[in-house]
Structure 1
Amino acid sequence: MAAISRLKPKPLLSLRSFCPSISSSSQHSSDPEAEPDETLVSTSISILKEHRSRSRWSQLKAVLPPGGIPPSATVRILSGLRNRPHLALSFFHFSRCRDLLSFCAAAHVAARSRLRPAALSLLRSAVRLHDSPAIFETLAKTYRSFDSAPFVFDLLILAYLDAKKIDRAVHIVRLLRSRGIHPLLPTSNSLIRSASKLNGSDAGLELYRELFGSDNLRVSPNVQIFNTLLLAMYQDGQSDRVDEIRVEMERFRVDPNVFTYSVLLAGVCDDGTRIREARELWEEMAGRGIKPDIMAFNTMINGYCETGEMEKAEELYRDMVFDEIEPTCTTYEHLIRGHCKVGDLESATMVYTDMKTKGFSAGVEVVDKVLDEMCKRGRVDEGLVVLREEMKREGFSPSRRSYEALIGGFCERGEMEKAAKLQAEMAGKGFAADEKVYVAFVEGYRKMGDEEKVLRLCDEMNQLGMEKER
């Protein structure tokens, strides 16, 4: 695809035709027939501006009609206070008006003063209370009269995304783009990310093409948007399609950053057979002068661990420490799994000890790996100590695999009493004995010459539908 021509952004004057001015009467009212009480409006504004904070609200209550502040008056008062946004927003909450027009007016007041969190919160409430396309229409109609900021429409899009109403958000984007208004890049990124999460990476890519596929663009995508697409493809297991995104990055002359490479590395390292491609990406990243972060290091270390290249994994670990990048729990877990995979229990236990010293807690899967290797080498008592230490920490619960490894290890050594105690503990945790456990006990008792128990266990296995030769 040819690179697009760079056009200067046009001012958002197109909002003038999109957002007609509103008079001080029916268009400011939720009820077209309700004229705001000008005396009430002017008196309220005067009280709010001139009285101290402690007395203004009691003074205001004294002049309000029995039914409270009408919505039409609320909007007029908000307009009169728009240069004092904090006071205006306090009045909005005081008024308890929750009609759509009042919400939009308050959102405009916040937006024009760059009070982004407040404006977004108001629009979220409006979306929650008024599930209607009229929110956008009302926001557009009141835009000019409040001298609002264009990003107020981006905030409405984000409010719809927060409410998981992506179709509404996309519809608003299309309405804006039909008037030559493009959402801000962070908003576009949120749209693409939401579409990808809800409907898959193909939906995110389709939305990207709609937003940036034209050759007549005023806004070009940035690296964050491409990273969102790459991550969505990775999470969908479509890392083989990343070249499509890299072509788009070249089209827009967008340079990758460290996150880009981390996602690309994850895609090739997870495959387990593409470590050479991972090395090429690593070298490409270095050639661009991009320093790897902890995510990139962890991904590459895991790649080497998956292929059993532990010397290179350890070398990367040392490089990381030399670069003053603190290892994470994930770093240690990758190394432990890698050493266990190649049968290097000594190195695995050294890393495990180092990990505990640094204050990290191993996940149950990593503990299982260590126990497996210990039991295979007859170090069952040491494995039991590891399990007991892990069980002391809050939140750790042994897995079936942990118990099976230890039971198998004790049965192999003929220590049937210890194995039986562990099996009882295992049952207490809700893990019923399966064929693997039965076989371990059968073989253990057979080695001990206890044929009576062997026969009894084999009968139990047959009754449970398990098969074991006597």
Structure 2
Amino acid sequence: MHAICSMKFLRDFNGYLSINFQKTLHFSSLFPKPHSFSSSPPPLPGGDLVSAAVTILKHHRSKSRWSHLRSLLTTTRNNHSLLTPSQFSQIALNLRNNPHLALRFFHFTLHHSLSSHSLSSYATVIHILSRSRFKVQALKVIKLAMFEFSDQNSALLEALIKTYRVCDSAPFVFDLLVKACLESKKIDRAIEIYEMLKSKNVFLRTSTCNSLIELVSKSRGCFAGYDLYREIFDLDVDNVGGNGRSGKGISVNANTFNVVMVGFYREGLVDKVEKVWEEMKMFDCVPNVYGYNVLMAAYCDDGRMEEAMRVLGEMKNNDLNVDATSYNTIIGGFCGVGDVMRAEEIYREMAMNGVETTGITFEHLINGYCKLGDVDSAMVLYKDMCRKSFSLESKAINVIVRSLCDVNGVSKAMEFWRMVMKKYEVVSEKESYEKLIKGLCMEGKLEEGLKLQGEMVRDGFEPGSEIYGVFIDGYTKQGNEIMASELRKEMLGKDMS
């Protein structure tokens, strides 16, 4: 039986070039029954091999497809050479409307070492996946190419550009390449790709640019991120273009400004956060809830609560959804300045507006009450947290322990300490250990204090002269001069080292 195979492939940068051909193949000679031949058949010419592989992949049942394909390509390999990158790309292009199959074919050739892949053949697979919006799979292949050709990473972009039109790809394939660099923390490479694309008037998506700015801000500082933001979006505050459009064809959006503001906020530069906020308004960009929350947090951390409340009021006036983060930010701000009553007012407003409280809400209030020395109110909130199945963070636990030591004595503090240690994975703070040890020594519970001091050392905190002092005083009061003397020698030895 004869089969006629036609294949349409190759599209160059100036348009589509269709090449149609017909090959007549005798498939009984390609796939003989087991043991029906005594010697290997001669290798197929390149075009015949591509046609045969395409026919197998498209028309054979899934159960027999891969065994027949392996038989074809293994026979070819034994008699001649591996499937060339060009042949692989031709076969894959015939499968571009079936990206699942194209990807399986790619992995099949990798697993069985049936093709000598190049950056060009990798690029073909990446484009096929991208044009079908298989972004996750395309990203994985990009990362694999970056790993396999780690010494040729700069050539991957060129390969994608050269094969872009023939594969009828999607523009965001270049965004995926930058994303792969960012996820691999290859910042310089990502910037280089951005600059090469810019020189060809190819623009990345705004979200990709935002991610690039964010990573630069985190790793190289907020001013480096700010400079990149101004360079990418070509923003000139003295010559505002309006509608957030830059001179380079990329649209700035609210998330762009948020990323830059967070960079400055992270380093405590409130005035710079305000500057970017004003730039956002100048470019007619409407702030979103996240941006308002960043500005409020900056004011709260700086103790400027009236300005923070003004921002909250602006959110309400603009009919924005004031969320739990917004309320928690204001509550934390008031607790930070010691105004727990105002924090309680915001807490009640939060409940009245149907916004669910979170563990952070309670932690802010607990910290606020502990700061005022009202540990009883803090414990009421802690019990309320437990009823609502919220877990308390280590920082708040340590605050309660120290407050209990100051107000209710070391016994209550130790009772709470042991209880939360069993319940949570607490990261203990040195100050908490010292408070408890001092309290135990002052009450004459030296053995219990020594046991806790051992736990303190196991957690990586070495006792200072103050801790040695309370133990020495304690043993002296008990008349145990031998132990007191040994501790003095140990303390002096540590001071000398």
TM-score by length of 1: 0.85
Structure-2 residue corresponding to 1:310? 340
Picking from 433, 436, 443, the partner of 1:403 is 433
CA drift at 1:71: 1.6
Evaluate the alpha carbon distance shift between residue 397 and residue 202 of structure 1 in structure 2; reply closer, same or farther with a 3 A threshold. closer
Q: In the alignment, does 2:54 pair up with 1:45?
A: yes
- Deviation of 1:424 after TM superposition, in Å, equals 5.3
How many residue pairs match? The answer is 438
Is the contact made by 2:323 and 2:355 (CA closer than 8 Å) also made in structure 1?
Answer: yes
Partner of 2:63: 54
Given the alignment of the two structures, is residue 249 of structure 1 paired with residue 280 of structure 2, yes or no? Answer: yes
**1:22, 1:141 within 8 Å by CA — same for their partners in 2?**
no
CA distance in 2, matches of 1:416, 1:103: 69
Moved more, 299-308 or 112-121: 112-121
Query: Could you tell which deviates more after superposition, 313-322 or 303-312?
Result: 313-322
Aligned CA distance change for structure 1 residues 123 and 427 (closer, same or farther; 3 Å): closer
Aligned residue among 100, 104, 123 for 1:86: 100
Residue pair 1:387, 1:398 contacting (<8 A) in 2 also = no
C-alpha deviations, 1:90-136, integer Å up to 9, x for none? 11111224421111000111111121111111112112222321111
Range 196-205 or range 226-235, more displaced: 196-205
Give yes or no for contact 1:412–1:444 (8 Å, CA) kept in 2.
Answer: yes
- What SS does structure 2 have at the residue aligned with 1:114? coil
Tell me by how many angstroms 1:182 deviates.
Answer: 1.5
Distance 1:166 1:306 in 2: 37
Q: Of 454, 464, 470, which residue of structure 1 is paired with 2:491?
A: 464
Aligned to 1:5: none
Identity of aligned residues (%): 39
**Structure 1 unmatched runs, 5+:** 1-15, 26-34
Amino acid at match of 2:231: E
Give 1:22 shift: 9.6
Equivalent of 1:227 in 246, 258, 269: 258
Question: 1:268-283 maps to which residues of 2 (within 5 A)?
Answer: 268-271=299-302, 273-283=303-313
User: C-alpha distance in 1, partners of 2:446/2:185?
Assistant: 57
* 1:89/1:106 contact within 8 Å kept: yes
> 5+ unaligned residues in a row in structure 2: which ranges?
1-10, 20-43, 236-245
Match of 1:95 in 2: 109
Of 69, 85, 88, 2:83 maps to 69
Q: Secondary structure at the match of 1:119?
A: helix
Contact 1:339 1:347 in 2 (8 A): yes
What residue in structure 1 maps to residue 295 of structure 2? 264
In structure 2, the residue corresponding to 1:376 is in which secondary structure?
A: helix
Q: Which moved more, 1:362-371 or 1:47-56?
A: 362-371
Change (3 A) 1:432 1:217: closer
Deviates more, 1:300-309 or 1:278-287: 278-287
Match of residue 32 from structure 1: none
Tell me the distance in 1 between the aligned counterparts of 2:171 and 2:406: 66
Quick check: 1:36–1:72 contact (8 Å CA) kept in 2? no
- Residue 182 of structure 1 aligns with an amino acid whose one-letter code is F
Q: Distance in 2 between matches of 1:251 and 1:424?
A: 60
Task: Name 2:360's counterpart in structure 1.
Answer: 330
SS of aligned partner of 2:423: coil
Q: What letter is aligned with 2:353?
A: D
Give the one of 205, 228, 252 matched to 1:184. Answer: 205
Aligned ranges 1:14-25 → 2 under 5 Å: 19=13
CA distance in structure 1 between the partners assigned to 2:149 and 2:17 by the alignment: 24
- 1:36, 1:73 within 8 Å by CA — same for their partners in 2? no
Query: Residue 284 of structure 1 aligns to a residue in which SS?
Result: helix
Question: Which residue in 1 is equivalent to 2:223?
Answer: 202
1:313/1:335 contact within 8 Å kept: yes
Cα offset for 1:466? 9.9
User: Is the Cα–Cα contact under 8 Å of residues 453 and 463 in structure 2 kept in the other structure?
Assistant: yes
Say whether 1:165 aligns with 2:192.
Answer: no
**8 Å contact kept, 2:373–2:407:** no
What root-mean-square deviation, in Å, do the aligned CA atoms of Structure 1 and Structure 2 show? 2.8
Deviations 1:382-423 (A, max 9, x none): 211111111213533544433322232234344555445544
Q: Which amino acid aligns with 1:208?
A: Y
Q: Is 1:339–1:345's contact at 8 Å kept on the other side of the alignment?
A: yes
User: What displacement does 1:180 show?
Assistant: 2.6
**Aligned residues of 2:265 and 2:298 also touching (Cα < 8 A):** yes
In structure 2, C-alpha distance between the alignment counterparts of 1:91 and 1:427, rounded to whole Å? 58
Corresponding residue of 1:123: 142
Higher relative contact order (CA 8 A, sep 6+): 1
Q: 1:24, 1:454 → 2: CA distance? A: 99
- The question of 1:109 aligning with 2:128 is answered yes
Q: Structure 1 residues 55 and 246 mapped into 2: Cα distance closer, same or farther (>3 Å)? A: same
Q: Distance in 2 between matches of 1:136 and 1:459?
A: 70
